[in-house]
Chains A and B, each alone.
Chain A
Amino acid sequence: MNSMTSAVLDEGKVVLETRQLTKSFGGLVAVNSANYRFIERQAHAIIGPNGAGKSTFVNLLTGHFPPSSGEILFKGQRITDFPAHKVSRLGVGRSYQKTNVFPVFTCFENCRLAAQAQLPTSMRFLRPAAMYKEVNERADWALDLCGLKSRGDRVAGSMSYGEQRQLEIGMVLATGPEILVLDEPLAGMGKEESERMVGLLKDLARRFTLILIEHDMDAVFSIAEVLTVMVNGTVLESGPVETIRASKAVQDAYLGDGAEAY
């Protein structure tokens, strides 16, 4: 295959890598020989039209789908066949394109459950979960970071859509990840909610290795350092954000005239 590899900005430590990663659904090849390298502490955005295979790629990276072929390496270790819970425990946290919080739990309980992932095991039966100090602190920290500190007691299902999206990310943070894989965190948000979220994402980009799937061009340009354009399951173009922004091939194939073609 002549598939190209995603670019990296000044060499750093590769923390996550895919080699010829492929996923087919029946006859449809959703992700096609994807070669990606993600560098520690870099913010790497992946853009592409609907159906390009971005979410499928996230599902592969985080063990939610088994790949059809190819390999995934975490810090050099082969994790291709790891189930989702093991990948998460390694420090690869993900959020979902479709909001995926526990609506009947309070905001704090959502984060506390996620923070329990910091315990070596949750096979503990007698002491109330609410009395694990370090878990509570981790949950508080995550709530604070995602901007929901004052919302701890709200039942998640009763919060606004934008807040639920924030909680979605707060839960990932509470698990204590090194790498954040965020699948369209801005999807479906209003202007004001979006601005708040972009602020959060910028903050996260400074603290974590960030893999950001996003539609919103302006947001991507303001957050990411590296940009990869994915079309039909393959890497179309990859490089520093400014380069890609100016790239003729990308403008024609993807960004189009108005840059909001979908």
Chain B
Amino acid sequence: MSRLPRSLSILLSVAIILLGAYPLFGDVLFPNKHAFLMQKLTGIMIMAVMAMSLDLLVGVAGLVSMGHAAFFGLGGYMLAMLSPEYSAANLWVVLPAALVVVAIASAMVGYLSIRTSGIYFIMVTLAFGQMGFYFFNDSKLAGGSDGAYIMVKPAVEILGVSLLNLGDKRTLYYVGLGALVGVYLLLRVVLASPFGRVVSAIGVNENRVRGLGFDPVAYKLLAFTIGGTIAGLAGFLAAIQYGFVNPATLSWHHSGEALVMVILGGMGTLFGPAIGAFVFELAKMGFESVTEHWLLPMGAMIIGIVLLLPKGVGGLLLQLFSGRSKMEGGQ
């Protein structure tokens, strides 16, 4: 992935700064809805992390996964299962533990699915995702179909000194923002590395990559595992935010929503799918407040965007801004 046009980088930075400032001026702008909006935005930023992780698979490596939410859900369930019932879990223990479990799970699913391609890959990942759903739905492990509560948020302490209070809504908002920015930058770094170049090339022409001397299976498997683990992080954060997990977080509906965010935002652009998460969730919120048949206008909007902007919002932005800073090249 080549560098973004400078003006676009500035625009995105301004958007991030505005998001960062929102908790400070939100009460003034929306006196009645501030708390609600801040929570909503926290949730959206977490979904943006999820959408970017899926973009690594779908948009960059060409792996159209329909089971990505399974890793999101698993991340949340790990928190629920590792948290003591009436006291706080130690974040420095439960977060790494959750991520390791999700990484192993995604490596296993990846190992079993990566050799298939096209429609078969979609079907296999869908099947694995549903297996995850039914596993938590039908087992007594964590509340079955009712889901499970996380009564006390994990403690973030060093030597007994509390660093962050995750129970505080504003703190959690900044954790979400930090995750969004951190994961974006991390993925940019990884995509610019030799590994990232190979994965990007696989998404364009896997066979040629093999001919040049790289084993695509190894690179795709690792990309799948990285994507799955980041989705697990998003699910973990969502579980902290809502204090609750249920099997629906693993379901293919949820995978499908993430896929829609990626497509709306612009596959392979990374920042696009993050924007896609905002477009999707804010539109949903808007339509929901007007009509209970919100799926109808939502569907129309999605179709409209896909038809008008085949490369998504991100593609449009790239086109608009690279016109000015000529010859940016690549994607």
Residue numbers in B under 8 Å from A130 (CB-CB): 192
> Which chain A residues lie closer than 8 Å to B194 at the CB level?
116, 119, 122-124, 129, 132, 135
Asked whether any CB of chain A lies closer than 8 Å to the CB of B152, the reply is no
CA distance A1 to B242 in the complex (A): 74
Contacts of A125 in B (CB 8 A): 189-190, 193, 195-196
**Residue from B195, B204, B213, B219 within 8 A of A88 (CB atoms):** B213
Most buried by A among B195, B204, B213, B329: B213
**Residue A153 at the chain B interface, CB threshold 8 Å:** yes
- Which B residues are CB-close (under 8 A) to A122? 194-195, 197-198, 214, 219
B118 CB–A CB distance under 8 Å: no
**Residue B119 is within 8 A (CB to CB) of chain A in the complex:** no
Within 8 Å CB of A64, what residues of B? 207, 211
Cβ-defined contact, B192 with A104, below 8 A? no
Expressed in whole angstroms, the minimum distance between the Cβ of A90 and any Cβ of chain B is 9
Whether a CB of chain B sits under 8 angstroms from the CB of A179 is no
| Contact partners of B219 in chain A: CB under 8 A | 122-123
Which residues on the B side are within 8 Å of A135 (C-beta)?
194
Once A104-B330, A104-B331, A105-B201 are accepted as A-B contacts, the answer to whether A62 and B211 lie under 8 Å apart by CB is: yes
How extensive is the interface on chain A, given as a class? Answer: 35 or more
Complex: chain B residue closest to A88, CB-CB: B213
Tell me which of A88, A100, A105, A132 contacts B330 (CB under 8 A): A105
Which B residues are in CB contact (< 8 Å) with A123?
Answer: 194-195, 218-219, 222
Question: Please, which residue of chain B has its CB at the minimum distance from the CB of A108?
Answer: B329
Chain A contacts of B331 at CB under 8 A? Answer: 104
- Quick check: A127 and B193 within 8 Å, CB to CB? yes
Q: Which B residues are in CB contact (< 8 Å) with A89?
A: 213
Q: Which residues of A contact B27 (CB under 8 A)?
A: none
The reply to whether B212 and A117 form a contact with Cβ atoms under 8 Å apart is: yes
Q: State the total of A-B contacts with C-beta under 8 angstroms.
A: 101
Q: Is residue B253 contacting chain A, with contact meaning CB distance below 8 A?
A: no
The answer to whether A109 and B214 touch (CB under 8 A), given A116-B194, A130-B192, is no
In contact, A102 and B205 (Cβ under 8 angstroms): yes
Contact yes or no, A113 B212, CB < 8 A: yes
For the complex, count residues of B whose C-beta is within 8 A of A.
30
B215 contacts A by Cβ under 8 Å: yes
Query: Smallest Cβ distance from A241 to chain B, in angstroms?
Result: 29
Is B140 interfacial (CB-CB < 8 Å)? no
- Contact between A155 and B213, CB atoms less than 8 A apart: no
Query: Which residue of A129, A132, A135 has the most chain B CB atoms within 10 A of its CB atom?
Result: A129
The reply to whether B213 and A117 form a contact with Cβ atoms under 8 Å apart is yes
CB contact under 8 A between A124 and B213, given known A100-B205, A102-B204, A116-B198:
no
Does A114 lie at the interface of the complex (its beta carbon under 8 Å from any beta carbon of B)?
yes
B284 at the interface (CB under 8 A from A): no
* B197 lies within 8 A of A113 (CB): yes
Chain B contacts of A117 at CB under 8 A? 212-214
Tell me the bound Cα distance from A105 to B210 in angstroms: 17
Which among B215, B222, B327, B329 is the interface contact of A83 at CB below 8 angstroms?
A: B215
Please provide the chain A residues from 62 to 121 with a CB less than 8 Å away from any CB of chain B in the complex.
62, 64, 83-85, 88-89, 94, 96, 100-106, 109, 112-114, 116-117, 119
Q: Does B6 contact A (CB under 8 A)?
A: no
Most chain B beta-carbon contacts within 10 A, residue among A64, A119, A130: A130
Q: Does A220 contact B (CB under 8 A)?
A: no
Q: Mark A2-39, 1 if CB is under 8 A from B, else 0.
A: 00000000000000000000000000000000000000
Q: Bound complex: CA of A257 vs CA of B204, how far in Å?
A: 44
| Of B197, B204, B215, B329, the contact of A155 (CB 8 Å cutoff) | B329
Q: Which 10 A-B pairs have the closest CB atoms?
A: A117-B213, A88-B213, A122-B194, A128-B192, A124-B194, A84-B210, A129-B197, A129-B194, A89-B213, A106-B329
Apart from A64-B207, A85-B211, 12 more pairs, CB < 8 Å: A64-B211, A85-B210, A85-B214, A96-B211, A100-B211, A103-B204, A105-B330, A113-B197, A124-B195, A129-B193, A129-B196, A155-B329
Which A residues are within 8 Å of any B CB, using their own CB? Answer: 62, 64, 83-85, 88-89, 94, 96, 100-106, 109, 112-114, 116-117, 119, 122-130, 132, 135, 153-155, 171, 175
Chain B positions within 8 Å of A, measured between CB atoms, are 2, 189-190, 192-198, 201, 204-205, 207-216, 218-219, 222, 327, 329-331
